[in-house]
Chains A and B, each alone.
Chain A
Amino acid sequence: DAGITQSPRHKVTETGTPVTLRCHQTENHRYMYWYRQDPGHGLRLIHYSYGVKDTDKGEVSDGYSVSRSKTEDFLLTLESATSSQTSVYFCAISFDRVYEQYFGPGTRLTVT
């Protein structure tokens, strides 16, 4: 398995609180991605990074921010969590955009 870890794996938080999810890779891949997965919507891209400090928005970026200060870490922050952000969040990495994306195990986030 590709060396990708996500932390935490499960989190329950209250509306209005800040939340940070961490993705860590040991593969030295250039590209990193954050997706959310919801029933009926499949995988939707939140933000992605194509290098240290190089990030861009995806399809559903509102309410989320990201940071990548090191090749191996990509952080996803919900500044003020809302119930609509209850979801399973997946991090993925790839050597290049048109190469295989390796997915992490996911983080289940519940906002009450």
Chain B
Amino acid sequence: GENVEQHPSTLSVQEGDSAVIKCTYSDSASNYFPWYKQELGKGPQLIIDIRSNVGEKKDQRIAVTLNKTAKHFSLHITETQPEDSAVYFCAATRNSGNTPLVFGKGTRLSVIA
């Protein structure tokens, strides 16, 4: 089955700097890669996703890149703000059968003002 590795587990950045979180996956048939943000005391919330037919997707200050050959994808947050502080999860799945999402273990991002 799919296995998703996520790094780093914790990340501290100065406000205004960029943050990058990386994930690798094992199943070459995976084709859907979402990113979730979890604020303290809440459930995770989707912030961006990418499908295997594109290499990059942007939404304001966040972007995701996908390298299918290397089987890794990354989340980029530019001009970080204190409200970006949260735990971020990557996930992956293939579009066949009922195979569910497999999540990485999460990255705790702290943006220091």
Contact: A97 with B100, CB < 8 Å?
A: yes
The smallest C-beta distance from A105 to any residue of chain B, in angstroms, reads 6
Q: Chain B contact residues: over half helix, strand or loop, or mixed?
A: strand
Q: Which residue of B lies closest to A45 (CB)?
A: B100
Interface size for A (C-beta < 8 A) is 21
Q: How far is the CA of A58 from the CA of B93 in the complex (A)?
A: 13
Contact: B89 with A97, CB < 8 Å?
A: no
Stretch of B56-64, B73-81, B102-110 that contacts chain A: B102-110
Partner of B103, one of A43, A50, A56, A97: A43
Partner of B34, one of A45, A100, A104: A100
Residue numbers of A with Cβ under 8 A of B are 33, 40-45, 48, 50, 56, 58, 90, 92, 97-98, 100-101, 103-106
14 contacts between A and B (CB under 8 A): A42-B89, A43-B103, A45-B100, A45-B101, A58-B100, A97-B32, A97-B95, A97-B98, A97-B99, A97-B101, A98-B31, A101-B34, A103-B45, A105-B43
